[in-house]
Structure 1
Amino acid sequence: MNGTGKRTKRSKSRPEDELPVVPDTKGDLFWEMNKPGSEFKQNVIGIVVVRADGSIGYINPYLASLVGESPAEMVNEPLLDFVAERDRAAIADVVKDCVSGKRRVAQLESTVTHKSGKVVDVFIDATAAIFEGQSAAVGAVIDISARKQAEQALADSESKLQTALANMSQGLLMLDAEGRVLLFNSRFTEIYELPQDQMQPGMAMAEVMALGAANLNMRDMDPEGTTAELEKAIGGGKEGYYIHRHIDGRNIAATYRPMRDGGVVVMFEDITQKMEKEQALADSEAKLQTALTNMS
């Protein structure tokens, strides 16, 4: 609405985006417009008929509502006036191809613009047809905004998860109820000096241990014993903790926690410095006690 109380007129599409008038082509009738019950007043699927000159010949109430208009306000208006600018060229090509007969059917994801400025994601199934005795393009339109939002939310969640995993100071390994890898982070492969490009979801724990055993820094590990330890944790419903010592002198602590589905999450931490400090403190206390004893 403008200051006079009248609805603001939409800006027209740019000349270079206007749909061309193409020669008439023969084709089957898509439907008979005057046939009873053929008004396409669906409330789930939008229907639009576009003439060769790019104007809207017919639009059902549902699709008109997606852009905040009524069918009467949209009929005879350029279709591209209601399409987001970034998608106008693609929509123009689809209409042109359908009208000219180059394509009988076309499917694509696109957007329409609500008069409030909101962009609505849609899926379009376009087909060639005859309307008012002339070649035209008919589009069946579905609002996929909810799906796109869910996909974006999932992508955002995945991105946050990967960021969190990459910044963890501990190594993480998640196994399913059958002992196969579901998830791991880069810190896990760093701790065990595993080739990250060879670690894959779906690997059995025995395969992971075999991969690690091939590394000199892990040759003192007991693959069968470690695997057996984790197998007891899987489905056991109990938490556990163990420490193993590498040939290079590092001490790695592994804490495992069960998951509801029978799998297990294992956290790995290099506690070498921690143990060295604890040992140094213990040695210092022992020396102090010895000194005090000798003074008495």
Structure 2
Amino acid sequence: MPGIVQAENLGKTYGGFKALKGISFTIEERQCVGFLGHNGAGKSTTMRMLYGLSTVEEGSLHLFGQPVAPLTPPALKALLGIVPQEDNLDVELTVLENLEIYGGYFGLSRQEARQRGLELLQFMGLEDKVTATVESLSGGSKRKLVIARALLNRPKMIILDEPTTGLDPQARRQVWQKLRQLKAEGATLVLTTHYMEEAAQLCDRLLVMNEGLILAEGSPEELVKRYVRPYVIEVRVPSDQVPADFAGQVARLGGEAVYLADDLFVFCEDGDRLWRELASLGVPQHACYLRSSHLEDVFLKLTGRRGEA
């Protein structure tokens, strides 16, 4: 069965800058798909194409079996819920009024929008904020309100561009809980995020982007197994104090020593064995940290590699 999003060789240029360099992907119904990448990797450009704020210049894009060329048609936009990076709420209106006004864009009467708004405020845990001003809300409550607004039209697919940026850990987890519930109820979620834990917690499938390309895709678990070994030792000493033959010595012990974003990582199958050998390799054990590998290691290895130790 074809996906509800099908992208083939999408390309986009701004001035002389190639933001997308021919990316292809599919999003299946009822999945949560995440796009990971540094700022400027092409994530937000891809999202803007999906919800019609950026034209499709190269390649093809289909939503729900319908072509998007060059912009997303209004009939398809009505099937989407959009959570932008910024909290673009109307500060002159109350919480409920923000939802009532927004409902008019989808042809809802004031009464219908009010009823739907009250239901969504309860769903998002904002039922006690109905008459509150937007300015009085915490950052977490504002983000929940933006998500509630995106659900007014009962969308089939919800696009979330960095949905929890700037939130404290408790507020972030509250948003995660609501997003899981939406997915359990049948929604398709597409999100961008800088938080590796968020990607691992929410996403069925991830696409790792860098410089306008998709470098890898798969489930969080698949990506960790494919690109890094089970254990990693973070070596926290200045690079000029690392022995010149350190990488070679590590390799002879079955490990791999690489600099990722200017930090030295040793990936290995047997963490305990390499941990015991650190002193003999010329690196003090007290300056190192042994742990299981995770998704952030994959991201750094794909997008932040500097070279061998």
Compare CA radii of gyration and give the structure with the larger one.
1
Same fold (TM over 0.5): no
Structure 2 length-normalised TM: 0.29
Structure 1 length-normalised TM: 0.30
Of structures 1 and 2, the one scoring higher in RCO (CA 8 A, sep 6+) is: 2
